[in-house]
């Protein structure tokens, strides 16, 4: 908990955050997980809300919220994992979705990360499938409304 106090999550556009987000994604997905670089780039980024997590002055995590309510590209640098960075990124993106009126969010979780998303109310809604040669599961979470 003490460490979480040192983590800050910023929300912004691809123009503002793209360079840092791309650097983190490449380190995690391409260098670490061996996802082909060409699969990492798509045309959706300029349309998304992007989250960047900063810890001790360095950007260490990222994620994005699509216009259709999908969350994706959640990535925390290996050296920064287990400190609550992923939690704050996901909560910020879920809050951004709720604030704009979305009632649910969906994502394609890598199979190994389902337990992480379950902590935040996500449930699997379909069978496992392969994407970029990595097993994935579609998950969904309802967003609590503060409008009653
Ligand atoms: C998955 C990922 C984003 C989690 O980020 P993180 O910063 O390590 O997670 P946090 O420290 O915020 O963990 C929050 C909670 O989830 C738990 N958790 C973290 N990763 C988990 C996992 N893979 N499975 C189950 N629980 C997990 C933590 O133990 C913690 O539990 P607590 O509430 O009891 O303290 C990070 O491991 C990552 O970037 N992995 C590589 C890329 C990847 O696979 N991304 C997911 C694509 S779908």
- Ligand 1 atom nearest to CA at 82: 11
- The closest alpha carbon to 53, from 78, 82, 80, 29, belongs to 80
pLDDT at 67: 97
DSSP code for 29: I
The Cα 128–Cα 82 span in angstroms is 25
pLDDT digits over 7-34, tens only? 999 999 999 999 999 999 999 999 999 9
pTM for this one?
0.95
Ligand 1 pocket, mutate which of 80, 93, 114, 116 (most atoms under 8 A from CB):
116
pLDDT at 133: 80
- Burial label for 113, CB within 10 Å (0-12, 13-18, 19+), is middle
The Cα 102–Cα 124 span in angstroms is 19
pLDDT digits over 63-117, tens only? 999 999 999 999 999 999 999 999 999 999 999 999 999 999 999 999 999 999 9
The Cα 109–Cα 136 span in angstroms is 5
- The closest alpha carbon to 8, from 80, 70, 73, belongs to 80
Which residue's alpha carbon is nearest to atom 31 within ligand 1?
A: 116
């Amino acid at each position: 908990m003490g460490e979480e106090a040192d983590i800050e999550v910023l929300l912004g556009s691809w123009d503002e955050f793209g360079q840092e987000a791309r650097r983190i994604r490449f380190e995690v997905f391409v260098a670490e997980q061996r996802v082909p670089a060409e699969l990492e780039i798509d045309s959706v980024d300029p349309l998304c809300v992007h989250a960047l997590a900063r810890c001790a002055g360095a950007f260490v995590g990222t994620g994005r919220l699509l216009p259709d309510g999908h969350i994706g590209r959640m990535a925390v640098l290996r050296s920064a994992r287990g400190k609550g960075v992923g939690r704050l990124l996901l909560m910020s993106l879920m809050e951004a979705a709720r604030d704009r009126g979305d009632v649910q969010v969906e994502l394609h979780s890598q199979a190994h990360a389902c337990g992480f998303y379950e902590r935040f109310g996500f449930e699997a809604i379909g069978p496992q499938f392969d994407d970029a040669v990595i097993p994935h599961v579609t998950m969904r979470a309802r967003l609590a409304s503060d409008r009653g």
